[in-house]
Amino acid sequence: MKTIITTVLSGLMLLAGWAQAAPAFKPFQAYTRPAMSLNGEWKVIVDPYENGFYNYRYEPFDQMEEPPRSAYFMDAKAKHGGDLIEYNFDEAQTLMVPGDWNTQKEKLYYYEGSIWYRQMFNAPKMEEGQRSFIYFGAANYRADVYLNGEKLGQHIGGFTPFHFEVTGKLKPQDNSLVVKVDNEREKDGVPTLNTDWWNYGGLTRSVRLIVTPKVFVRDYKVELESHETGEISAYALVDGAGAGQEVRLTLPQLGIDETAKTDAEGVARFQTKTVGTQFWSPQSPRMYQLTLRTGNDRLDDEVGLRTIETRGKQVLLNGKPIFLRGISLHEEYAANGGGRVTSAEQARHQLKWASDLGVNFVRLAHYPHNEHIVRLADQLGLMLWSEIPVYWTINWESEATYQNAQAQLEEMINRDKNRASVIIWSLANETPVSEARNQFLSRLASHARELDDSRLLTAAMEKHYSEEDPELAIVEDPLAELMDIVSFNQYIGWYDGRHEKADRVRWRIPYDKPVFISEFGAGAKQGMQGDANTLWTEAYQAELYRKTLAMLEKIDGFVGTSPWILADFRSPRRPLPGIQDDFNRKGLMTETGTRKAAFQVLKNYYREKAQEPRELEKPPETQ
Ligand code: GCU
């Protein structure tokens, strides 16, 4: 329960200039709150030289006492024939929000830099004392936000939500909301300069105006402490009230109706018990209505109740051992020529494709995906792995990079901490072992456990070979000591030899922990026929799957895998003409959903795995 204290404390420490990067945005459970959508066509100005942000001396306008009207966030218009204003949002081109800009305009396909977005809106009718917030689902990568010419703030990180309070800043009519979105990659960024996914820029998720009472439930967490006792603990963070504010928690279908008072930090805590709960699981993804009331505020939501833990080399869901029949997924829906997923409907498509494989688990790679897909997974009974983009070789030495990663971790956990589907937080992907990296990730690991100790922690690590024995693969990484699950990526048969090598490789993974293979795979151009030894053919990919799955079955503690990847996806690192054409072709289906032969190989394997009985292993001392 000390999580809230640490969250606020870390905010204060950061304010005290402890680090250069912006602190995490405060949690705000907003998905189910009624809101005014600001989605749709936004006027845009493409600004590669950031001419609307800096003067010719490269001094930022928004740091000036009186920013000139030439600053684009002033949204100025020439008043008369002699008034020099060299931009005009009213006459500007448009882009759809939510959406990336790269797949909306041919000219912006490769564009990396700044684009100014402007939306005009009238304020909703509001009662005395009500408060208002502008909430962004995400913007890639750096967003500077202005309302009616006034800076509201900045957010860094392309995949987590942020919001600004605009109470008292709204005009009844013609509010001008201007956002400078910059997806320029940075060495010290998170992610850093190189990734194997397209650097989609823009207001990639919904923008909403949320109105609340003066005192409202800003955040909450509910947790099934034990599937044996039915013990439930919860807290609600009330904004706008000090100590002594009454909060009522109800889960009517469970007969839970509790009240508690806030402490000095506005937190009300609940401890209660439930009997006859249907615990959330893939077989029965039971969701329960939940309502939090305080003053004249009401927050409605839905939650599944389940426990997830490890015991020895097993992963237990509600106390029962499970096997994670997974697949990896990027947040891209290119079936209609698009890029980033922009709707619940597209997310549903992705999960339908995955479900057709017979999965019960999806690895959301390599960054937090939209909230639609996480909530759909709750309803569909799909377990999830959610990850922050600490990807490959970021700047482990930089405190600002660390604070940036920590902020993204906090924002990811705060958004999805009530989602039963999310069972694993992943801190990183394929990061090189070094003292600086170990320190960086162990700091992140303890912060993650402080924020949420009810889920499993992991990171996608790597293997190496024994010097003496070139076919003895080893996963040995100091980070594994800190993780609940030993996860690693391996590409035997693609970047490492050819598929028959999988017949010979043996494994040494010296941890009494569950072992999960977070990536394996091979590229295949759909429709490319040929023998199983020819790269890029469907036959080669299918054969690699057969041999790899057989190899993994021999690994002690093997609890599951999420092969790379469900569908082909865009990557600037994949130019091979006629085969890749800017797409990573390791999908089991094309980006438009056409299956490749390997799809059926994995589907058959998962059908068998789903039938396989799983016994709970006796804890070591009773053996
Ligand atoms: C890596 C990486 C992925 C990448 C994949 C590939 O392991 O984690 O992001 O796309 O390999 O090379 O296809």
Q: pLDDT-based confidence at 22, cuts 50/70/90?
A: confident
**What is the pTM (predicted TM-score) of this model?**
0.95
Task: Express as a percent the part of the chain with pLDDT over 70.
Answer: 96
Question: Of 38, 68, 36, whose CA–CA distance to 53 is shortest?
Answer: 68
**Among candidate residues 136, 126, 153, 291, the one with its CA nearest the CA of residue 214:** 126
Evaluate: CB of 140 within 6 angstroms of ligand 1.
no
pLDDT tens digit string along 225-282? Answer: 999 999 999 999 999 999 999 999 999 999 999 999 999 999 999 999 998 899 999 9
Q: What is the average pLDDT value for the chain, to the nearest integer?
A: 95
Check if the beta carbon of residue 126 is closer than 8 Å to that of residue 133: no
Separation of CA 43 and ligand 1 centre (Å): 36
> Tens digit of pLDDT for each residue in 174-211?
999 999 999 999 999 999 999 999 999 999 999 999 99
196 CB within 6 A, ligand 1: yes
For 83-108, write each residue's pLDDT tens digit.
999 999 999 999 999 999 999 999 99
194, 195, 196, best to mutate for ligand 1 pocket (most atoms within 8 Å of CB): 196
pLDDT band (50, 70, 90) for residue 336 = confident
Q: Specify the residue with its C-alpha closest to ligand 1, atom 9.
A: 196
**pLDDT tens digits, 105-149:** 999 999 999 999 999 999 999 999 999 999 999 999 999 999 999
**The ligand 1 atom nearest the CA atom of 430:** 8
Pocket lining: 591 vs ligand 1, CB cutoff 6 Å: no
Q: Residue 23's pLDDT is what?
A: 81
What pLDDT does residue 403 have?
A: 97
Q: Is 430 in the pocket of ligand 1 (CB under 6 A)?
A: yes
pLDDT of residue 620: 60
DSSP 616: P
- For residue range 572-615, what is the model confidence (pLDDT) as tens digits? 999 999 999 999 999 999 999 999 999 999 999 999 999 999 88
Name the β-bridge partners of 558. Answer: 515
Query: Residue 545, SS3?
Result: helix
Asked whether residue 7 carries a pLDDT value surpassing 50, the answer given is no
Nearest atom, ligand 1, residue 569 CA: 10
Average pLDDT rounded to a whole number, residues 438-464: 98
Nearest-CA neighbor of 309 among 5, 109, 513, 487? 513
Q: What is the pLDDT of residue 15?
A: 46
| pLDDT over 50 at 9, yes or no | no
How many whole angstroms from 602 Cα to the centroid of ligand 1? 19
Residue 618: what pLDDT?
Answer: 73
Q: For residue 617, what pLDDT band results from cuts at 50, 70 and 90? A: confident
Instruction: State residue 437's pLDDT score.
Output: 98
Check: CB of residue 409 under 8 Å from CB of residue 449.
Answer: no
8 A C-beta contact, residue 129 and residue 214 = yes
- Asked if 536 and 598 touch (Cβ cutoff 8 Å), the reply is no
Query: Does the beta carbon of 564 sit less than 6 angstroms from any atom of ligand 1?
Result: yes
Contact status, residue 366 vs residue 395, Cβ threshold 8 Å: no
pLDDT on residue 20: 52
Is residue 332 within 6 Å of ligand 1 at its C-beta?
Answer: no
pLDDT for 11 equals 47
452 within 8 A of 3, measured Cβ to Cβ: yes
Regarding the beta carbon of 330 and ligand 1, being less than 6 Å apart is answered no
Q: What DSSP character marks residue 15?
A: I
Range of weakest confidence among 268-272, 432-436, 501-505, 618-622:
618-622
